Structure 1
Amino acid sequence: MDFQKTFNKYSSKIAIKLGKPNKIPNKSVYQNFIIIPCYNEYDYIFKTLDSINQQELKLLNQTLVVIVINNSNIESQNIVKNNKRTYEFLLKKKYKYEFVAIDCFSKKYSINHKKAGVGYARKIGLDYSLRYIKNKFSLLCSLDADTIIDKDYLYIVNKTMSTNANVCVVNFQHQKSGDPIIEKAIRKYEKQIKHIAKKIDSAGSPYGYVSMGSTIICNVFSYVACGGMSTKKATEDFYFLQSLAKFTEVKKIKNKLVFPSSRSEQRVYLGTGYRIKEFQALGDFKNLFFSEESFQLLKHMLNILEKSYNKSFDLVLNAIDKKARFFLESKNLQKIWPQINLNAKDRYQFKLFIHQWFDALMIMQFLKKIN
């Protein structure tokens, strides 16, 4: 891939250039960027910024923190006032690192309500960062305004990404809640989503990771190659990571480096707050538990598909379980099977094509169907 050509195309045609930064950064280039969407977060964001301040000074000197304070153009006045208060207090703060606060909340710069959401705000910050990158290996770190990071976050992330990695996700642990029901819910939720990721990984899929916005790090090379951040109002982290995983390997850092809030406030559909609310109402979670059989069928099916280069589709179907067979046929794999084989230069590329087709979304559909 011609990086410069791809970068220029992305910057000119795809990148979002909205909002008003409070200043022009002091330096022309940075190695690390930490992007934080901020929506109604006055009570939380300053703890997050304080945790960034504990990083190694040498790394902080190479880091620009980009805070996108945002709301829609039809937002309630309480939200707008909270954002304004955050912005004004933020500009009085001094940290060991440099930060830029982008105004996407005021009447002039608020986001159209049809587009507004955490994915769109995160993309604004990520795309803004591209103006100040040192090179294609500069790091784009996604964080949330209510998430505290470990003091070694930047050190471990930089060390991992320097070993030919393009994308990584860090391990996490939600902050302890003072409410016993919420605490029980968050531990059960956290355990289950990590269990699902581990099982998908064990099945041989490249999508065996937890999709959480505050845990994602990628370099500029992979960011522009996959078309940038998804702008969905919800599950944007899921689709963004899926795009990255189709392009390159997603490394997993075992160290617990980010500590998201365990608050039950529901921001988006299927987010952490949504799941906590669900647990409070029902005493459990819906559609979050899959049988051991479903994971075993996934593993067996992926193994058969990977080894079926230049084999007839009928031969493939005969080798897999009846339930998996019906699923593949319902997704019309038989129609594109000849083309996948034709386009693949060798077995390795064929395997890549299989996993690009049988992606993270299809895996979840499969598990729910088989379950």
Structure 2
Amino acid sequence: MLKERTISRERDMSQVANFYKERFGCAHSHIAKEINKATSLIIVIPIFNEPDVISTLESLKACHLPNDPVEVILVINNSENGKTETIKQNELTRQEIIAWLKKNKTPKLTFNLMLENKLPAKHAGVGLARKIGMDEALYRLGKIGKNGIIACLDADCRVDSNYLETISGLYGQGEFTSGHLYFEHPLEEEEANIREGIINYELGLRYYVQALKFIQYPYAYHTIGSCMITSAKTYALSGGMNRRKAGEDFYFLHKIFPLGGHKTFNKTCVYPSPRISDRVPFGTGRAMGKWMDMVNACKKSDKMPEYEYYALQSFLDLGKFIAAVPCFWKYADQEIEKIMADLPRS
């Protein structure tokens, strides 16, 4: 009986992956190497113009290995009209990864390298790169009929030594759907102004989520791409990752939240880099760049820069709207208009 249920689950996951591939997925699988049938966790890392991805690989290698084997999919990516310097850096990164992989072979932690340097200019970016890698992870898990876990990480992150064990341990424990890992930006080695900026930025992120919880917004979770984890089936049923050039994590997770079961896991930690970056229109790197611009501008006037964020009143006003939403399903249009008229104008 147990064998029959196992076969049924395998067929079910294989069908889910195939259906996704036909409706939402990338046209074909990229990795020819067979996946170990015991694999239950695949980590996807998009890489673009990244000078220090080896530190991330070393961080993963230093982790305690779980019982089941783990795969890592590295997606080096660029636009079809990418700049010369990013093309050169991507090639240098590719060579560094290949050299590192030759020296660091671990049977239970395997790395697959994908080169996607000719992505359509209209869609090229972190969203499409994540999608390519996450789709591939889904196809590979589908081949072995496993509703395994797909985890996202960025190429400038470090992780706790129990990172792999913690995520892998979620497989088979009840009906895991999706989650978000705890995060902290590293402070020890940063210059004073960068350290102050990233502290303000991270406090802003935490204030945002806590304010959403306070007004009882139902999906008050962090939405940081390098901390996302999802079951293969949840990924497929949600329609997969989008192709946005920035904010892809926010929009992807807000498709998943309504499916239920999303949780925050605090027993391990991801350490995103606080570095300045202009690779995406917004996010940590861009926010740090703006902060340093303010720091440099204030040096001329001997004033300290101030970090601005959403006023609490804006959340309180939003909370009144959220509290009124259930009424929209009960009342006639005239009564709804009266409710709307009484809401804050902000």
TM class by smaller structure: 0.7 to 0.9
Q: TM-score, structure 2 length as denominator?
A: 0.83
Closer/same/farther in 2, CA of residues 25 and 158 from structure 1, 3 Å limit: same
Closer/same/farther in 2, CA of residues 139 and 26 from structure 1, 3 Å limit: closer
Aligned counterpart, 1:272: 284
Aligned counterpart, 2:47: 38
Displacement, 1:111? 1.3
Aligned counterpart, 2:120: 112
The aligned length equals 317
Displacement, 1:179? 2.0
Partner SS for 1:103: strand
**Residue 55 (str. 1) matches residue 66 (str. 2):** no
Runs (5+) with no aligned partner, structure 1: 327-369
CA RMSD of aligned residues (A): 2.5
Deviations 1:275-302 (A, max 9, x none): 011111235688x622222222222332
Taking the aligned partners of 2:166 and 2:47, their CA distance within structure 1 comes to: 25
Aligned counterpart, 1:171: 182
Aligned counterpart, 1:76: 83
Displacement, 1:116? 0.9
**Residue 98 (str. 1) matches residue 110 (str. 2):** yes
Partner SS for 2:119: coil
Displacement, 1:5? 5.2
Aligned counterpart, 2:252: 240
Whether the aligned pair in 2 keeps the contact of 1:300 and 1:320 (CA below 8 Å) is no
Q: RCO higher in 1 or 2 (8 Å CA, sep ≥ 6)?
A: 2
Whether the aligned pair in 2 keeps the contact of 1:279 and 1:285 (CA below 8 Å) is no
Q: 10-19 vs 313-322, which deviates more?
A: 313-322
Q: 314-323 vs 6-15, which deviates more?
A: 314-323
Whether the aligned pair in 2 keeps the contact of 1:116 and 1:233 (CA below 8 Å) is yes
Whether the aligned pair in 2 keeps the contact of 1:18 and 1:104 (CA below 8 Å) is no
Q: 263-272 vs 306-315, which deviates more?
A: 306-315
Whether the aligned pair in 2 keeps the contact of 1:37 and 1:145 (CA below 8 Å) is yes
Aligned counterpart, 2:33: 24
| Percent of residue pairs bearing the same amino acid type | 25
Aligned counterpart, 1:225: 237
Displacement, 1:217? 0.3
Displacement, 1:321? 7.1
Taking the aligned partners of 2:326 and 2:63, their CA distance within structure 1 comes to: 43
Aligned counterpart, 1:333: none
Whether the aligned pair in 1 keeps the contact of 2:166 and 2:268 (CA below 8 Å) is no
Taking the aligned partners of 2:145 and 2:259, their CA distance within structure 1 comes to: 19
Aligned counterpart, 1:86: 93
Whether the aligned pair in 1 keeps the contact of 2:66 and 2:165 (CA below 8 Å) is no
Displacement, 1:315? 3.4
Partner SS for 1:91: helix
